[in-house]
């Protein structure tokens, strides 16, 4: 019979690193029953009978968020054989709060004190045996990053899972609280299993509505329990939730006083010294801006550009395309099939894959910043700014993930408890340029702006500006009014990142991009090639000859709707169809241009496609095109994720409609007002652009309805 062990811990405690080390490649991913939150399981290396379940990172089991609810329900309903509770040894007080709750579940548990290498470097000491005695559980001191003592941890956890019986928690609250809990157990929980009575009693004391509903308590019994709770609240002069929280921390402080030797008072850790600079009120944002500029500059304009240029000029331009084209001609392959393979598939998919080196460099840098601990500080820094327009710093986490891909970014919004903030984050996350938009940015930057890194940098901060403006505007509407969700996040210590973790993360992101290129983009390239090279000539549907592309299917579709985009400066069928192809995948915007202009090379080095683009666009209209692609509706995969997370067709329609409106409006304002400033020409569309700008400024700076209501009440009070 298989053994199931749950891995639980706070975010940034090293839980995922430990899970990966214990399971290796023996992992499989699904969804938790009834929801789309990712569920990760794995088989313990060398022990096929032991299954590990990686629970979401949580701070408590109070079910204030979806992650906490999932962890609680799994532990109570699935009854794993044991729990590995991993805690950050450099921040035991905060981490052990969850441990006190896990101990009340009556499930065999092993306490894994992680980051012991950092504890030792700081000069602190932890008596693991004494800590284990206080909680009544075995303790193993490990370093998940360096994989020290993890085999011993797996052995002890397996032994704990094989033991019969349910351990009872050793920690106790003070007299008045214990008296109330004992009475609750006696009157309401005597029919529950003995090892669960403590857990339920604490939750009833905290007035947990989910537990009350689960137990089906009568109104009379609830009233009886309420008397005990109120009597205790009077005795302690506090509410029941705060009483339990204070009691837990009192217990933890007493234990830590006996089992730890702290570093010298007043001594600052290296992380503290770094944080005095990078989280400084005045320096934090400039440092972040410089950091991101360097990341995009190196990725797009130097190292990444050099590698992409070699991929285009040498690999595709001089090796792959000539070799395949020559081979097909020698074999006597039909001309239409040669066109499909060379002009369709290779020109489409190849033009996108040529940007792969830039994406690899970008993801390596982002992984370095993420695993070093800096990105957690960025969320803390951004909370100061985000809170000014009604969002929590938690909203920045999905947006940060969105620089890789919008799909997991939208899923990451589940950590936001406030429903209004969560919906707003889902709506605005796609404004941040994802990896799929990088080829489009590089194409415009190379063709019109000399490949300068500031274009990619500007695209990234355009996304942030769109998020900020949207937050201010939407928060003043009835749909999104309310206080921002509180920002609670553990800041991990700075550490040298593991090259293994960086490479694994980069591989996951890049392989996902390659899979998309070999499936969705391949299919899109074939469809676009067919619609480009087939059409009606003299009343007959047939394959087109050179110079007849204006009679193609795709040209007919593009010409039918080009009038919509003419005010944006690019009302010709090629850019219109290329922009719309981004609904399949944003990378296909580049491949579409490659097919339309008959070239597979669309990146660095002055290839022919850039000349074709310069003939079709001005720098201003190219900027308008880029803005529309960056800010308007995302790809189908992202739209599908929005639909799942919103769980509402109406909200999904609102989200997509809002993005299209913002993308079109900003592109219109940039092109029309830019044209007016350049040439002095004023048209009806210039007036519309000015009206849109005025409307946006009014929505930005108007008082919120709540503030107006408060002002009216104050004035009424003065008059009275």
Neighbouring CB atoms inside 10 A of 703's CB total 11
Q: What confidence score (pLDDT) does residue 353 get?
A: 65
pLDDT in tens, 379-424: 777 776 776 666 666 677 677 667 766 766 776 676 676 678 888 8
User: What is the pLDDT averaged over residues 177-192?
Assistant: 88
Burial call 322-344: b when 16+ CB within 10 Å, e when fewer:
eeebeebeeeebeeeebbbbbbb
Structure tokens that stand for 526 in this block: 């074939």
Just give the CATH number of 175-261.
1.10.287.1770
Neighbours of 669 (CB within 10 A): 21
pLDDT at 61 over 60: yes
Query: What integer best gives the mean pLDDT of the chain?
Result: 81
Token pair 């960086």 in the structure block, residue: 502
CA 109 to CA 104: how far, in whole Å? 10
Residues above pLDDT 70, as percent of the chain:
81
Domain with CATH 3.40.50.300 in the chain: 3-162
Q: How confident is the model at residue 297 (pLDDT cuts 50, 70, 90)?
A: confident
Q: What distance in Å separates the CA atoms of residue 603 and residue 312, rounded to the nearest whole number?
A: 7
Q: Which residues pair with 143 in a beta bridge?
A: 148
**Tokens encoding 128:** 């693991």
Q: Smallest Cα–Cα separation from 110: which of 167, 176, 182? A: 167
The reported pLDDT for the residue numbered 376 is: 74
CB burial string 34-65: b at 16+ within 10 A, e below: eeeeebbbbbbbeeeebbbbbbbbbbbbbbeb
Residues 666-693: what's their mean pLDDT? Answer: 94
Q: Which two tokens stand for residue 616?
A: 């079709």
Q: Which two tokens stand for residue 282?
A: 């005045």
pLDDT of residue 717: 40
Tens digits of per-residue pLDDT, 600-628? 444 433 345 778 888 889 999 999 999 99
Residues 494, 499, 503, 505, CA torsion sign: negative
Strand partners, 110: 84
Whether residue 514 contacts residue 506, with contact meaning beta carbons closer than 8 Å, is answered with no
Q: Tens digit of pLDDT for each residue in 348-368?
A: 566 556 667 777 887 788 778
pLDDT over 50 (residue 712): no
> For residue 438, what are its two tokens?
């990088």
Residue range(s) of every CATH 1.10.287.1770 domain in the chain: 175-261
Instruction: Please state the rounded mean pLDDT for residues 154-161.
Output: 93
DSSP labels, 599-662: -S--STTT-HHHHHHHHH--HHHHHHHHHHHHHS---HHHHHHHHHHHT-HHHHHHHHHHHHHH
Coil/strand/helix, residue 598: coil
Most confident of 244-253, 292-301, 496-505: 244-253
pLDDT single digits (tens) 445-454: 888 888 777 8
Tell me the backbone φ, ψ of residue 718, rounded to 5 degrees: -65, -45
User: What's the CA gap between 479 and 218, in Å, rounded?
Assistant: 37
DSSP string covering 169-206: P-----HHHHHHHHHHHHHH-TTS-HHHHHHHHHHHHT
Half-sphere exposure of 201 (CA within 13 A, CB side): 26
Number of Cβ within a 10 Å radius of residue 552: 22
> What pLDDT is recorded for position 83?
95
CB-based contacts of 617, cutoff 8 Å, min separation 6: 447, 448, 569, 570, 575, 625
- pLDDT at residue 375 is higher than 50: yes
User: Are 370 and 505 in contact, with CB atoms under 8 Å apart?
Assistant: yes
Least Cα distance to 313 among 609, 603, 514 occurs for: 603
**What is the four-CA torsion angle of 505, 507, 513, 516, rounded to 10 degrees?**
-110
What HEC string does 318-373 produce? HHHHHHHHHHHHHCCCCHHHHHHHHHHHHHHHHHHHCCHHHHHHHHHHHHHHHHHC
Note the pLDDT tens digit of each residue in 121-133.
Answer: 877 889 999 999 9
Specify whether the CB–CB gap between 387 and 484 falls below 8 A.
yes
CB-facing half-sphere around the CA of 424: CA atoms within 13 A: 35
Cα dihedral sign for 51, 55, 61, 66? negative
CB distance 424 to 394 below 8 Å: no
What's the pLDDT band for 482 if we cut at 50, 70, 90? Answer: low
Compute the distance between CA of residue 307 and CA of residue 302 in angstroms, rounded to an integer: 9
Select 3-162's CATH number: 3.40.50.300, 3.40.50.2300, 3.40.830.10, 3.30.1370.100: 3.40.50.300
Report which of 1, 8, 96 is spatially closest to residue 52, judged by C-alpha positions. Answer: 8
Lowest mean pLDDT among 141-155, 461-475, 533-547: 533-547
Instruction: Evaluate if residue 221 carries a pLDDT over 70.
Output: yes
Other Cβ atoms closer than 10 A to 89: 26
Give 455's contacts (C-beta < 8 A, 6+ positions apart). 300, 441, 444, 445, 449
User: What does the alpha-carbon distance between residue 215 and residue 227 come to, in Å, rounded to a whole number?
Assistant: 18
């Amino acid at each position: 019979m298989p053994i199931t062990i749950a891995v639980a811990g706070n975010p940034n405690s090293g839980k995922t690193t430990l899970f990966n080390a214990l399971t290796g490649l023996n992992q499989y991913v699904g969804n938790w029953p009834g929801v789309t939150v990712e569920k990760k399981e794995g088989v313990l290396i060398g022990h096929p009978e032991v299954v590990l379940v990686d629970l979401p990172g949580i701070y408590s089991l109070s079910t204030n968020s979806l992650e906490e609810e999932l962890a609680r329900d799994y532990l109570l309903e699935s009854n794993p054989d044991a729990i590995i509770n991993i805690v950050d040894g450099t921040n035991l007080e905060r981490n052990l709060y969850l441990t006190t709750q896990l101990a009340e579940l009556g499930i065999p548990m092993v306490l894994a004190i992680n980051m012991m290498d950092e504890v030792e470097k700081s000069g602190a000491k932890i008596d693991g045996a004494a800590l284990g005695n206080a909680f009544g559980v075995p303790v193993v001191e490990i370093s998940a990053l360096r994989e020290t003592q993890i085999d011993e941890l797996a052995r002890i956890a397996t032994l704990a899972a094989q033991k019969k019986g349910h351990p009872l928690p050793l920690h106790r609250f003070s007299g008045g609280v214990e008296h109330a809990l004992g009475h609750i157990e006696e009157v309401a929980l005597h029919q529950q299993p003995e090892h669960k009575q403590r857990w339920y009693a604490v939750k009833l004391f905290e007035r947990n509505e989910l537990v009350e509903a689960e137990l089906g308590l009568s109104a009379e019994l609830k009233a009886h329990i309420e008397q005990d709770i109120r009597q205790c609240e009077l005795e302690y002069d506090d509410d029941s939730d705060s009483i339990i929280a204070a009691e837990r921390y009192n217990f933890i402080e007493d234990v830590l006083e006996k089992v730890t030797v702290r570093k010298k008072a007043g001594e600052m850790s290296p992380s503290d010294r770094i944080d005095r600079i990078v989280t400084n009120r005045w320096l934090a944002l400039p440092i972040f801006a410089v950091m991101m500029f360097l990341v995009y500059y190196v990725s797009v304009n130097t190292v990444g550009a050099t590698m992409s240029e070699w991929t285009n000029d040498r690999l595709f331009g001089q090796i792959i395309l000539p070799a395949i084209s020559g081979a097909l001609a020698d074999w006597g392959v039909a001309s239409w099939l040669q066109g499909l393979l060379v002009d369709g598939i290779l020109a489409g998919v190849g033009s996108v894959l040529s940007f792969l080196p830039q994406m690899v460099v970008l993801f390596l840098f982002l992984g370095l910043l993420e695993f070093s601990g800096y990105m957690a500080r960025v969320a803390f820094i951004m909370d100061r700014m985000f809170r000014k327009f009604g969002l929590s710093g938690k909203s920045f986490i999905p947006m940060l993930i969105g620089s890789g891909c919008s799909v997991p970014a939208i899923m990451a919004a589940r950590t936001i408890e406030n429903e209004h903030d969560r919906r707003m984050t889902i709506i605005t996350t796609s404004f941040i340029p994802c990896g799929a938009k990088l080829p489009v940015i590089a194409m415009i930057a190379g063709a019109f702006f000399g490949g300068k890194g500031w274009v990619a940098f500007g695209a990234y901060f355009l996304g942030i500006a769109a998020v900020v403006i949207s937050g201010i505007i939407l928060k003043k509407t009835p749909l999104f009014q309310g206080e921002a969700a509180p920002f609670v996040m553990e800041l991990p210590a700075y550490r040298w990142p593991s090259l293994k973790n960086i490479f694994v993360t980069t591989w996951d992101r890049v392989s996902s991009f390659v899979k998309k290129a070999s499936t969705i983009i391949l299919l899109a390239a074939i469809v676009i090639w067919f619609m480009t090279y087939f059409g009606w000539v003299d009343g007959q549907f047939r394959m087109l000859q050179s110079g007849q592309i204006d009679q193609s299917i795709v040209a007919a579709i593009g010409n039918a709707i080009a009038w919509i985009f003419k005010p944006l400066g690019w009302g010709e069928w090629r850019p219109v169809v290329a922009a719309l192809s981004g609904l399949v995948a944003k990378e296909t915007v580049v491949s579409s241009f490659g097919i339309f202009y008959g070239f597979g090379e669309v990146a660095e080095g002055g290839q022919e496609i850039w000349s074709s683009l310069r003939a079709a666009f001005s720098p201003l209209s190219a900027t308008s095109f880029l803005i529309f692609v960056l800010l308007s509706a995302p790809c189908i995969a992202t739209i599908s994720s929005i639909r799942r997370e919103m769980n509402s067709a109406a909200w999904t329609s609102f989200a997509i409609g809002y993005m299209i409106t913002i993308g079109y409006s900003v592109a219109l304002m940039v092109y029309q007002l830019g044209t007016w400033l350049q040439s002095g020409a004023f048209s009806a569309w210039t007036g519309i652009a000015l009206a849109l700008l005025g409307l946006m400024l009014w929505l930005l700076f108007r008082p919120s309805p709540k503030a107006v209501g408060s002002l009216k009440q104050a004035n009424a009070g003065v008059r009275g």
